[in-house]
């Protein structure tokens, strides 16, 4: 992904700390960040923040988004209900790469209670740097979207 392009990011209370570290990581690398919340560690409903990010990506306001919750499971379930969203829950670098290469994922989902910040940074950088391969994979994505 081109540096300078905006990325929307959202989380629940369980992943607030990791989200704040990720924002700094991305800003230092030249990315613009739109923080959809939450803004504190106070307990919130993850669905509200998942919807904000997924809706913005679905509508084309952002080409990429990042969502975080305790495990990443809830956020991925919310995000994948939106048209055109391909949210990928990734806990390793290989999955992040393949989610872009073969699936053109546009939302990366991370579990704040599952991975640490160093691994999260590596996953994010891989996800941002990997270009969709297209070809036979494009036809599969179009089948999903139809």
The tally of domains found in the chain comes to 1
The answer to whether residue 43 is domain-embedded is: yes
The answer to whether residue 129 is domain-embedded is: yes
CATH code, domain carrying 38: 3.40.1400.10
**pTM score, two decimals?**
0.97
Query: Annotated active-site positions, please?
Result: 69, 102
The answer to whether residue 1 is domain-embedded is: no
- Residue-range definition of the domain harbouring residue 53: 6-145
Nearest to 67 by CA among 85, 84, 95, 89: 89
The answer to whether residue 123 is domain-embedded is: yes
The answer to whether residue 79 is domain-embedded is: yes
Sequential pLDDT tens for the chain (146 residues): 877 789 999 999 999 999 999 999 999 999 999 999 999 999 999 999 999 999 999 999 999 999 999 999 999 999 999 999 999 999 999 999 999 999 999 999 999 999 999 999 999 999 999 999 999 999 999 988 88
């Amino acid at each position: 992904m081109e540096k300078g392009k905006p990325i929307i990011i959202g989380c629940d209370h369980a992943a607030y700390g990791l989200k704040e570290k990720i924002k700094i990581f991305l800003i230092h690398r030249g990315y613009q960040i739109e923080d959809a919340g939450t803004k504190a560690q106070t307990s919130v409903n993850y669905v509200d923040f998942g919807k904000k990010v997924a809706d913005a990506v679905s509508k084309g306001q952002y080409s990429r988004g990042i969502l975080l919750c305790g495990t990443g499971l809830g956020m991925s379930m919310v995000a994948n209900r939106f048209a055109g969203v391909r949210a990928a829950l990734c806990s390793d670098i290989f999955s992040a790469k393949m989610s872009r290469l073969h699936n053109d994922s546009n939302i990366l989902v991370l579990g704040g209670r599952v991975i640490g910040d160093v691994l999260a940074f590596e996953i994010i950088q891989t996800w941002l740097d990997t270009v969709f391969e297209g070809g036979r994979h494009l036809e599969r994505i179009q089948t999903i979207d139809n």
